[in-house]
Every structure is written in C-alpha cells, then in structure tokens.
Structure 1
Amino acid sequence: MQTEKVVDHIVKWLKDYATKAGVNGFVIGISGGIDSAVTSTLCAKTGLDLLCIEMPIHQAASHVTRAQEHITQLKNRFANVRDSRVDLTPVFEEFITEVSNEGKPLVIDMALANTRARLRMTTLYYHAGLFGLLVAGTGNKVEDFGVGFYTKYGDGGVDLSPIADLLKSEVYKIGTYLEVPESIMNAAPSDGLFGDARSDEDQIGASYPELEWAMGMKDKGKTEADFEGRQKQVFQIFMRYNRANTHKMIPIPICEIPKKLK
C-alpha cells in the first residue's frame, strides 16, 4: 500500500465532501482505539473544524486514558481540533430503569451493549446539528463488510466512512504513518460496549489477521470444505458472522408496491 498517497487521497476526499455539503467540518467519537484515532487524525488534516467527543458509559479506565492521550496529542498538533466530554453513564442507567429486563442474560447484555452505541450516535448527531458538522464513521473494511462487527444505527449510523475500504492491517500502517500514540497502536482492539476491557478477538473468537485471511478466501470462492484445523474454524467463524450480519451491509429493504395496485 502506498500509505502516504492513500492518506492524501482520504484527506482530500473528506475535505471535498465537506465543502460540497456546505458544512464546517466533522465530529467523531473517540474511543481510545486505533480506528477512531486514525479517522480523527485524517479529519484533522483537512484543516476543517474537528470536534472530538469522549462518551464514557462505565468505561474501562484503559480506554479512557488512551482516548485522552490521543485527544491531547491531536490538539497539540492541529489548531482546528477541539474536544468535549459527555458522560452518558447517568443517561444509560436511567434508560435501564425504564425498560423491560425480561429475557436471557446474554441477550439482555447484547441489547444493552447496542444501546450504548446508539446513545453515542444520538450524542454525535446532536453536536453535528449544533455546529454544522458531519459525523465521521470509524469502521474498517473487515468490520463493515466482513463480519458486520458494529451496531446498526449505533457506530454504523454515520454520514461518511473514511476508512471503510481499508483492512485492519492497513489501518495500522496508516496509524504508524500518522504517528498515532504507541499506547493505542499496541492495545488490543475493543468495541468498549460492555464496561470492561474485553477485546474484539475475545468476542469474535478470531483475530483481525485471521478474519482478513478468511475474507480473502471467501472472495476467492472458497468454502469450509477447503480447509481443516484452525483455518477451518476461523473460516466458519467468519462465515457465521457474515451471514448473520448481512442485513447491516445492505440497503434497508423496501416493499415495492406493483404499479397495478396503485
């Protein structure tokens, strides 16, 4: 990958899109992870306004520390960057008191995890409307189009996706080029939706390099019958997520009414 040229291309794309949309810049949620760090740095390089927002909900201390370190670095490097912190923990706790808690514990945990992501999306769009900004998404290609590892209308609810055509390994290469803090570069990827430090690999059962491999094999038309051992296991994991989350990757289904019925 021609990293410098890819960075220049994304920055130009971001700036052109924002200019044509007639907005002032971008707003992005900062999680302390590599994807939000790279995306926010790319947005900062446009020279347009960038609002970085921390939105903790019972967040793991390590995530908070990395997020704050990154925001501090960005503000020191770019004069167009400002930040805000919106503690959504009280909102989340109040929400829990008002909704049903019937169901299996694992299902409830997942529903509440997705609720965290949707509360953050609402917060980002509130600030976007307030200051004339676009909500920049942080999903990479493996998450967005491979395993669908994001929340529909949560972190998937954005105006534009600068890094969605980049594999996770490519995001790391750009992170190195953009001088993202080492603490973020070395941290295990995590969605931060469960109030602890569990990693994406803990949840999915496979690492991003493994998922990239499986995504490539699927694109080549391979099936699980072509593999054995760990490769077969990883391919099965990838395909299970890919099939289950296809609904996130396609446009909202529309029931088209036949003309003869209108």
Structure 2
Amino acid sequence: MKVDKVTDHIVTWLKDYATKARVKGYVVGVSGGIDSAVTSTLCAMTDLEVLCVEMPIHQHQDHVTRAQEHIKQLKSRFNNVGDVRSDLTPVFDTFIDNMPAIDDSALVDLTRGNTRARLRMTTLYYHGGVNGLLVAGTGNKVEDFGVGFYTKYGDGGVDVSPIADLMKSEVYKIGQHVLVPDSIMNAAPSDGLYGAERTDEDQIGASYDELEMIMNEIDNGKTAADFSGRKLEVFNLYSQLNKKNQHKMNPIPVCTIPEKLK
C-alpha cells in the first residue's frame, strides 16, 4: 500500500464530501483506540473543523488516558481541532435502572454493550447537529464487511466511513504515518464496551491478523477445503460471523407490496 498517497486520497475525499454537503467539518468519537485515532487525525488534516468527543460510560482508565493523550497531541498539531467530554455514565445508569430485569446474563451483557454504543451514536449526532458537522465513522474493513463487529445503529450509525476500505493492518500503517501516539499504536484493540481486559480478540475469537488473512484468501477464491488446523478454525469462525451479521451489512429489508394488492 502506498501509505502517503492513500492518506492524501482519504483526506481529499473527506474535504470534498464535506464541501459538497455544505457542512463545516466532522465530529469523531475518540475512544483511545487506533481506528478512532486514525480517523480523527485524517479529519484534522482536511483543515476543516473537527470536534473530538469523549463519551465515557464506566470507562476503564487506560482508555480514558489514551484518548486524552491523543486529543491533546492532535490539538497541539492542528488549530482546527476542538474537543468536548460528554460523560454518559449517569445517562446509561438511569436508562438501565428503568429497564426490566433479565435473567440471562449473556443477553444482558450483549444488550448493555450495544446500548452503550447507541447512546454514543446519539451523542455524536447531537454534537454534529448543533455544530453543523457530519459524523465520521471509525470502522475498518474487517469489522464492517468481514465479521460485522460493530453495533447496528451504534458505531455503525455514521455519515461517512473514511477507513472502511482499509484492513486493520493498513489502519496501523496509516496510524504510523500520521503520527498516532505510541500508546495507542501498541495497545491491544478493544471496543471498550466491556472493560479494558476484554479485547476484540477475546470477543471475536481470532486476531485481526488471522481474520484479515482469511478474508484475503476468500477474496482470492479459497474455500474450506484449502485450510486445515488453526486456519480452518478461523475460516469457519469468519464464515459463521459473516453470515450471522449480514443484517448489519445489507440494506434494511423493505416489504414490497405487489401492485395488484394496492
């Protein structure tokens, strides 16, 4: 990948899109992870207005520290970057307190994690709305089009997806090129919805390197018969998640009424 040229391409694309949409720039949720760090930096490089939003919900201190370090560094490099902190912990707690109790702990954990993501989406659109900004998504290609590792109408609810055609390894290459802090570059990927100790690999069951390898192999026509051992395990996992999460990747189904019934 021609990192410098890809970086310039994304920055130009972001600037052109905002100009045509007649908005002032972008709002980005900054979590302390590589994807949001790269996305917010690319947005900052457009010279348009960029608002970085912290949205802690019982957030682990490691994530908070990395997010704040990144925002501080970004503001020192770009005078078009602002930031705001919206503490959603009391909002989340009040919401949960008003929901009925459920016995299934696995369903509770998943639903509450998705609820956190959806509260953050609503918050980003609020800040975007009152400031005339578009919401820039932070999903990469493996998450968005491979295994569907995101929340529908949560972090999947965005106006533009500047890094969604980049594999995770390519996001890291861009991150190095645009000077993302080492603390973020070296941190284990985590969505931050279940604590810092629960990484993306723990949740998915495979590393991004493994998923990326299988995704590339499938794109090159490989099937289950071409794999064995751990590679076959990851192939089966990838295929299962890809099929299960098609409802996120495909357009919302519309029930079309036959003309003869109208």
Structure 1 consecutive aligned stretches of length 4 or more whose deviation exceeds 2 Å: 220-226
Q: Is the 8 A contact 1:44 1:78 kept in 2?
A: yes
Superposed displacement of residue 185, structure 1: 0.3
Distance 1:44 1:60 in 2: 26
Superposed displacement of residue 58, structure 1: 0.7
Partner of residue 157, structure 1: 157
Distance 1:101 1:136 in 2: 35
Distance 1:91 1:196 in 2: 21
Counterparts of 1:1-262 in structure 2, within 5 Å, are 1-262=1-262
Q: Is the 8 A contact 1:14 1:162 kept in 2?
A: yes
What amino acid sits opposite 1:74 in the alignment?
Answer: L
* SS class of match (1:59): coil
What amino acid sits opposite 1:30 in the alignment?
Answer: V
Structure 2 gap ranges (5+): none
Q: Is the 8 A contact 1:31 1:54 kept in 2?
A: yes
Distance 2:253 2:7 in 1: 34
Q: Is the 8 A contact 2:63 2:196 kept in 1?
A: no
What amino acid sits opposite 1:22 in the alignment?
Answer: R
Distance 2:56 2:224 in 1: 40
Superposed displacement of residue 217, structure 1: 2.0
Superposed displacement of residue 205, structure 1: 1.1
**What RMSD over aligned residues (CA atoms) do the two structures have, in Å?**
0.9
Distance 1:73 1:171 in 2: 19
Greater shift, 234-243 or 145-154, is seen at: 234-243
Superposed displacement of residue 222, structure 1: 2.5
What amino acid sits opposite 2:198 in the alignment?
Answer: R
TM-score, length-scaled by structure 2: 0.98
Q: Is the 8 A contact 1:57 1:195 kept in 2?
A: no
* SS class of match (1:225): helix
Distance 1:103 1:5 in 2: 52
CA distances 1:169-206 after superposition (whole Å, capped 9, x unpaired): 00000000001000000000000011343110011111
Superposed displacement of residue 221, structure 1: 3.1
What amino acid sits opposite 2:6 in the alignment?
Answer: V
* SS class of match (1:28): strand
Distance 1:195 1:3 in 2: 32
Distance 1:99 1:225 in 2: 47
Pairs aligned (count): 262
Superposed displacement of residue 40, structure 1: 0.2
What amino acid sits opposite 1:169 in the alignment?
Answer: S
* SS class of match (1:192): coil
Q: Percent of aligned pairs with the same residue? A: 69
Distance 1:103 1:116 in 2: 20
